[in-house]
Chains A and B, each alone.
Chain A
Amino acid sequence: MPHPETWLRVLPDGLFCEPGGFFIDPVRPVERAVITHGHADHARPGHQAVLATPETLAIMRARMGEGAGVTQQAMRHGEVLQQGEVTIRLVPAGHVLGSAQVVMEWRGSRAVVSGDYKRQADATCLPFEPVPCDVFVTEATFALPVFRHPDPAHEVAKLLKSLALFPERTHVVGCYALGKCQRLITLIRAAGWDRPIHLHGAQQPLCRLYEELDIRLGELRPATVANKAELRGAIVLAPPSAIADRWARRLAEPVTALASGWMRVRQRAKLRGVELPMVISDHADWPDLNRTIDEVGAPEVWVTHGRDDALVHALAGRGIRGRALHLVGLGEDEDEAVAEAPEGTPAA
């Protein structure tokens, strides 16, 4: 049985499956790409042939139009495909709508590339399914034991309590436009908030797409045309970059919130000038990363990006061989970039 090291290689363009002749989430345009999910750091424009779930392809078309791929092949969960000498399956990753793990088999050896994933419940996507394998390729965005995401319902309760305490103020919540935004809406709805939720322009197209794909979000209104009086005591969802910028001035005495896994660390929240940090993440936290690795039972785990040092150390303690791939270009979506200073360069 060939070790996956012999057929799954790290090339400058990304992770390459040799006997299948395709890349997974490549950073540059390639002939043949399998895409795990629609976030900009995984789904890049300009590939020739793209294979992904129907939802991921729809998201890519909404975001990049023709750049979504010259030929697009949709593959549903449960389908099996022979690509070159390799058998491919896409299995739900629980990260955002359409997100999938790529399960590859070649000559009896099986590797799973998880893309980004989480284990917490999410009403906007299918839950993660562990697949036993020989090599599990994982992310490590929140791979430090300090990251334990609380129950998101608790975080939303903080937001609603603040709205009760400051009923005159607009509560603007920074959240990534794909996935986090829609998940947050369903969480807010689940907490009993049935008033309209207002959206920054950047959040609107993907919310519309989610609704077309049958994910109910309740009444949504644009925050750009709404008048100030209507926004008193309202919830406004905006990209993280907008909450402290000129756009936020049209709001009524805004309370700025930010929904991100990074909000668990105070200094991160302080740096962004966030008044109401909400620890809600679409990535697995430390216990879930470790639990998942134990569940898939792989003797070897490759770490694509994030805090590989802590994870590799913890795996060694359990007799699992860890390997840091140091893939470039990943971890650049908003949820992860939130750790940076607001305008790029760190303070001198």
Chain B
Amino acid sequence: MSVPAFAELLERLVFTPGRNAKLALLRDWFATQPDPDRGVGLAALTEELVFTAAKPAMIRDLAAARTDPVLLALSHDYVGDLAETVALIWPERAGVNAPAPSLSEVVEALEVTPKAELPGLIAGWLDTLDSGGRLALIKLITGGLRVGVSGRLARVALAEWSGKPVEEIEEIWHGVAPPYLPIFRWLEGHAERPDPRDAPVFRPLMLAHPLEDRDLAALDPAAYRAEWKWDGIRVQLTAGPGGRRIWSRGGEDISGGFPEIVEAMDFHAVLDGELLVIRDGAVAPFADLQQRLNRKLVGPKMLRDYPVGVRLYDLLFEGGEDLRPLPFDARRQRLEAWVERHAPPRMDLSALIAFASVAQLSEVRDGARAASIEGLMLKRADSPYLAGRQKGMWWKWKRDPLSIDAVLMYAQRGHGKRSSFYSDYTFGLWRPVGGGGEELVPVGKAYSGYTDEELGWLDRWIRNHTTSRFGPVREVEKALVLEVIFDAAQLSGRHKSGVALRFPRIARIRTDKPASEADRLENLMAYVEAGPAAEEDAQ
């Protein structure tokens, strides 16, 4: 009964926006499903198992052989999605009483069945399933589940279900292949934790707390080291006899997207660093790095136009030696010596910033203008490398956000708990048009920063000042000014205004300010900093 059970889970996950609800559904799956199907299902959800045995064309041909072509075309036109059309239209056959396949049966059969026999095999399975089961099967075997379950979310669910710390699960996760039987045995208390040995595994990253004013007052400058906080993506590089991997912050394997880095990882070590687009030694804005993210394959043009490198923060393992228990200063020395000795291409050291007092550090922070710098990192000199956020060990001290007064233009309803609230706001700034007039041009969208009271107020205001509706979107009178704060402004060819904001959020509702006095687009443009030119400030 396992494909139907999986189909039920899939359907709930697809329609469930909330993280907590997703976790509850996954916990229920682990608690109720037998091995090996629960592991196979998990791997399929997180896309660690991806099948490409069946192409969409094969599925379409299967349906075409059993249905009227006109009705199939009308149905496809109506439903939109081919897999869903086939799942819904598949004619059920009276008298089929073969049981539905289990997930593991499907996986095994796909591996051993010759290509020519696949259509018959799949049609036989479809005959045993209902429409939900058919959709799950078709999505599974054509490699397109897309249910929004990250590996990280799945591991958090495993931790909640088993009571084991998520870090302990993450450390061995990539050393065990689906269906993860040794992991489930350990989590259920039937066996020791599996030992990944040489397999390249992800070690949970050490994270920083945001630095508040009261923490700053208590900070002993002599006990901390400072570095720039670069605006890229945090990565862990793992290389050795067992293979090479680039892990994202959440433990996803992103090696495939950055072949030039993998090629440069000719060493046996585990490193912590920031992945950045770097041209001629200068770090490009985050928008450039975005071009390289979420790609399974990269072409030569991407590699040339958006060259990436890794700025190294820390050394976790050298050879087989675990350096994580050592204090930061000792690890830093080992890192510097290691970089000196190996000089790996496409990698450099994150520089330490010397400072004698908090005041001096504050000046350094204020002086950093490059868009590629988010602020400062403060790391206690004696901090071991620990998983997760450890109070008082590492601090992140972001630059003060930039701010503009913008006019609310459109609002959209949110999801989940916010599904009845207009909680996503598109805001704009004035720019001149011919004839001396001015028009509003949208510059960004924000859906956070406000309090619950402010959200309620905004929702009412929007409902009372709507001028037109487009599905879930409302256009409003151009009369409300919002103070929007953001971390950086970057040029963007994809936005009508020519500029994109990093992390925009609502700081205040400015009922005191008439819309005509909101900022002009040129005020925002003054914040835009070209990456390379501003880089010298940052050094």
Contact = CB atoms under 8 A, between A and B. Distances in A.
Nearest to A313: B70
A110 B419 CA distance: 51
Contacts of B468: 345
B89 interface: yes
Contacts of B12: 162, 275-276
A228 to B, nearest CB: 14
Given A144-B74, A313-B70, A341-B472, A267 B88 contact: no
Interface residues of B, number: 41
B437 interface: no
B469 A244 contact: no
B20 to A, nearest CB: 9
Contact of B24 (A146, A166, A274): A166
Nearest to B85: A146
Contacts of A247: 420
Given A144-B71, A144-B74, A348 B473 contact: yes
Interface in A213-251: 244-249
A61 interface: no
B21 interface: yes
B472 to A, nearest CB: 6
A347 B472 contact: yes
Contact of B75 (A145, A244, A248, A317): A145
Nearest to A158: B8
A269 B131 CA distance: 16
B74 A342 contact: no
A347 B131 contact: no
Interface in B15-63: 15-17, 21, 24-25, 28
A192 interface: no
Interface in B79-136: 79-81, 84-85, 88-89, 91-92, 130-131
B71 A248 contact: no
Nearest to A164: B28
A148 B68 contact: no
Nearest to A277: B15
Nearest to A264: B88
B324 interface: no
B419 A266 contact: no
A249 B67 CA distance: 45
A276 B15 contact: yes
Contacts of A148: 88, 92, 131
Contacts of A267: 79-81
A166 B14 CA distance: 17
Interface in A192-226: none
B214 interface: no
B363 to A, nearest CB: 47
A274 B15 contact: yes
Nearest to B14: A266
A18 interface: no
Contact of B420 (A249, A275, A341): A249
B471 interface: yes
B65 to A, nearest CB: 15
A231 to B, nearest CB: 15
A123 interface: no
Contacts of A80: none
Interface in B385-410: none
A166 B27 CA distance: 12
Interface in A111-161: 144-148, 150, 158
A144 to B, nearest CB: 5
Given A256-B419, A314-B71, A275 B81 contact: no
B75 A343 contact: no
Contacts of A85: none
B417 interface: yes
B244 to A, nearest CB: 39
A247 B413 CA distance: 14
Contacts of B8: 158
Contacts of A347: 470-473
A158 B417 CA distance: 21
A344 interface: yes
A343 B92 CA distance: 37
A310 interface: yes
B68 A317 contact: yes
A346 B15 contact: no
B458 to A, nearest CB: 13
A149 to B, nearest CB: 10
A31 interface: no
B295 interface: no
B15 A310 contact: no
B471 A343 contact: yes
A270 interface: yes
Contacts of A147: 88
Contacts of A314: 68, 71
A269 B15 contact: yes
A253 interface: yes
B476 to A, nearest CB: 14
Contact of A345 (B14, B15, B470): B470
Contacts of A146: 75, 78-79, 85, 88-89
Contacts of A309: 74
Contacts of B185: none
A273 interface: yes
A348 B470 contact: yes
A102 B470 CA distance: 40
Given A273-B415, A275-B15, A342 B25 contact: no
Interface string A151-183: 000000010001001100000000000000000
A161 to B, nearest CB: 8
Contacts of B16: 275
A10 interface: no
A144 B88 CA distance: 10
A264 B472 contact: no
B78 A144 contact: yes
A150 B471 contact: no
B75 A165 contact: no
A70 interface: no
Contacts of A345: 468-471
Contacts of A269: 15
A343 B420 contact: no
A274 B9 CA distance: 16
Nearest to B16: A275
B471 A165 contact: no
Nearest to A343: B469
A342 B419 CA distance: 12
A265 interface: yes
A246 B68 CA distance: 45
B87 to A, nearest CB: 9
A342 B471 contact: yes
A114 to B, nearest CB: 22
Q: Which 4 A-B pairs have the closest CB atoms?
A: A347-B471, A146-B88, A341-B471, A348-B470
28 contacts: A145-B67, A145-B71, A145-B91, A146-B79, A146-B89, A150-B130, A165-B24, A165-B28, A166-B24, A248-B419, A265-B79, A266-B14, A267-B80, A269-B15, A271-B471, A273-B17, A273-B415, A275-B12, A275-B21, A310-B70, A310-B71, A313-B70, A313-B71, A317-B68, A347-B470, A347-B471, A347-B472, A348-B470
Given A267-B79, A310-B70, 10 more contacts: A146-B75, A146-B78, A248-B419, A265-B88, A269-B15, A271-B471, A275-B17, A276-B12, A342-B471, A345-B470
Interface of A: 144-148, 150, 158, 162, 165-166, 244-249, 253, 255-256, 264-267, 269-271, 273-277, 307, 309-310, 313-314, 317, 341-348
